[in-house]
Structure 1
Amino acid sequence: MAPPILSLVLPSETGRVLSIQSHTVHGYVGNKSAVFPLEILGFDVDPIHSVQFSNHTGYPSFKGQVLNGQQLWDLIEGLETNDLLYYTHLLTVCDPVMGDEGKLYVPPELVAVYREKVVPVASMLTPNQFEAENLTGLRIVTEKDGLEACNILHAAGPSKVVITSINIDDNLLLIGSHEKEKGQDPERFKIVIPKIPAYFTGTGDLMTALLLGWSNKYPDNLDRAAELAVSSLQAVLQRTVNDYKRSGYDPQTSSLEIRLIQSQDDIRNPEVIYKAEKY
């Protein structure tokens, strides 16, 4: 699982999101994981597909195109020429994402670009454990390490930081931190999430979209937004596992395509099962 790195969020009653992510014809990763949930939560979403593949790269093969910098810029210029760059939110992924599971997906020199150019302009940062380690230079093996990583990332710019998945013992730990005023101690919390014995794709992209959506509805309560996002995501994943089992597949043998369309109610009105514990 490789979550996106950042989202820029400005509070708004009626949100308009520009989502710059990858796209697959089949399956749910990138914009295919993010656009639909945001629309369910009441946002207008304009997607820019930085990558268009037949399917995600976890399959034996894939075909498609990658937009270069000029092609991406042409799309932005087209919007600007027609006075269409009036978005309240920018949801973007550094494509490809930095990495996960101890593996870097990008050239090492790009990490410095992310750290020095991207992080300072983000209002919310949502790295996984591996990405947080690379952005901070800190090895994260305990809750204390996770909190220190949040402090380092706050100092770089973002007021909201959510480290989405820290592996501790048999659980995943989400650690969130909201620095409401510069120089003041941030409000910090954790959510303990039981591991589901399966491998999914697109979960990080979905999680970031849910965090964007719910944090816009609860701009001063990041812990509440995270509770709703985590509970919604876990309901989607459990539905996915159950569906594969009913179809006779072993969920532990291959990566699972999340059952997004079938989980509309879990996205729109999640039952909050996973509670935030404030530090």
Structure 2
Amino acid sequence: MKTVLSIQSQVAGARVGNSVAAFAMERLGVRVLQLPTVLLGRRPDHGPPGGGPIPAATLSAMIEGLAADGVLAEVDAVLSGYLGASDHVAVVLGAVAQVKAANAKAVFVCDPVLGDDGKLFVRDEIADAVLNGLWRHADWLTPNAFELGLLTGRTVDSLESAREAARYVGKPVLCSSIRTALGLGNLLAAPTGDWFCETPRLPRAQKGAGDLLSALYVARRVRGDALVMALEGATGSVYDVIVRSLAADSEDLLLPEAQDLLEEPVTWPRARSLERV
């Protein structure tokens, strides 16, 4: 069975981080090994969240436990997301090194969860650690437009500026939340070409939508979906889940209620190939 090691937040009362990623990937038939970077009772934007970051030593010990059971050789991808402390970067990179030593075909996918809409929602030292020590080691990147701008030191406010920033990165990039006249789009920039997939604008999106997109794309890729199919399927599923959640006036993504849409979205937006310049 295809397996992903998912290293990101765990929030008891919200569908973000691993609460989104693990459910979505397993619904697509991919086994998920979950490592929490933080344990929180609720989202920090709701107030004092309860809980806090997992100590780096504890996180490392958990990885050693997985190694002792021999499961790291079964990992096809390491997906990193929200980090709770700057020293988590070294732990993630250590885990990636162990996984790749056990399985040379494994990939490291970095979702640099730093902020959105022009605002950081991690501490400066965590942002510095991701920007200066983590993302360059990734095989694939899944930032939103704001995060891609942070990674490259550029303003990313259009499809063309996103393509230019992705070319600067020089490795496969799935960049989300690119504003268009129609709504929002996701850019997949890969060595074999660039594709853009967009959906109509919605009034808002629940927290965790970016985590869901990254998880669905990674799950589809590791199970064997082609690049464009993975882009289209993940984009359509996220859109449909948001629509279903908005219709129920839910602040959270209604994943259990909308789980069939993860595998078979009602909306299947067609990606258009972009001419290389």
TM-score by length of 2: 0.82
Deviation at 1:141, TM superposition (A): 2.4
Q: Percent identity?
A: 28
Q: Is the 8 A contact 1:111 1:134 kept in 2?
A: no
Residues 1:241 and 2:246 are matched in the alignment: yes
Q: SS at the partner of 1:201?
A: coil
Q: SS at the partner of 1:259?
A: coil
Deviation at 1:165, TM superposition (A): 1.0
Q: Matched residue pairs, number? A: 245
Hey, what does 2:227 align to over in structure 1? 222
Q: Which runs of 4+ in 1 moved over 3 A?
A: 106-113
Q: SS at the partner of 2:33?
A: strand
Q: Is the 8 A contact 1:41 1:268 kept in 2?
A: yes
Q: Which runs of 5+ in 2 are unaligned?
A: 85-112
Residues 1:88 and 2:93 are matched in the alignment: no
Structure 1: distance between partners of 2:30 and 2:187: 26
Q: Is the 8 A contact 2:40 2:50 kept in 1?
A: yes
Residues 1:40 and 2:27 are matched in the alignment: yes
Structure 1: distance between partners of 2:71 and 2:79: 16
Letter of the structure 1 residue corresponding to residue 81 of structure 2: V
Q: SS at the partner of 1:257?
A: coil
Deviation at 1:121, TM superposition (A): 2.5
Q: SS at the partner of 1:141?
A: coil
CA pair 258-107 structure 1, distance change in 2 beyond 3 A: closer
Q: Which runs of 5+ in 1 are unaligned?
A: 1-13, 180-185, 245-250
Matches within 5 A, 1:128-143: 128-143=144-159
Structure 1: distance between partners of 2:70 and 2:198: 44
RMSD over aligned Cα, in angstroms?
1.9
Letter of the structure 1 residue corresponding to residue 121 of structure 2: Y
Hey, what does 1:164 align to over in structure 2? 176
Q: SS at the partner of 1:58?
A: helix
Deviation at 1:273, TM superposition (A): 2.7
Hey, what does 1:248 align to over in structure 2? none
Q: Is the 8 A contact 2:15 2:253 kept in 1?
A: yes
Q: Is the 8 A contact 2:30 2:223 kept in 1?
A: no
CA pair 205-23 structure 1, distance change in 2 beyond 3 A: same
Q: SS at the partner of 2:258?
A: helix
Structure 2: distance between partners of 1:100 and 1:78: 34
Q: Which protein has greater RCO, CA pairs closer than 8 Å, 6+ apart?
A: 1
Structure 2: distance between partners of 1:215 and 1:225: 6
Hey, what does 2:56 align to over in structure 1? 69
Hey, what does 1:198 align to over in structure 2? 204
Q: Is the 8 A contact 1:20 1:93 kept in 2?
A: yes
Deviation at 1:120, TM superposition (A): 2.8
Letter of the structure 2 residue corresponding to residue 46 of structure 1: L
Structure 2: distance between partners of 1:107 and 1:258: 25
Deviations 1:13-62 (A, max 9, x none): x3111111111111201100010111111111111111111111232332
Residues 1:119 and 2:135 are matched in the alignment: yes
CA pair 218-275 structure 1, distance change in 2 beyond 3 A: farther
Structure 2: distance between partners of 1:109 and 1:49: 19
Hey, what does 1:53 align to over in structure 2? 40
Q: SS at the partner of 2:78?
A: strand
Hey, what does 1:178 align to over in structure 2? 190
Deviation at 1:70, TM superposition (A): 1.1
Hey, what does 2:272 align to over in structure 1? 277
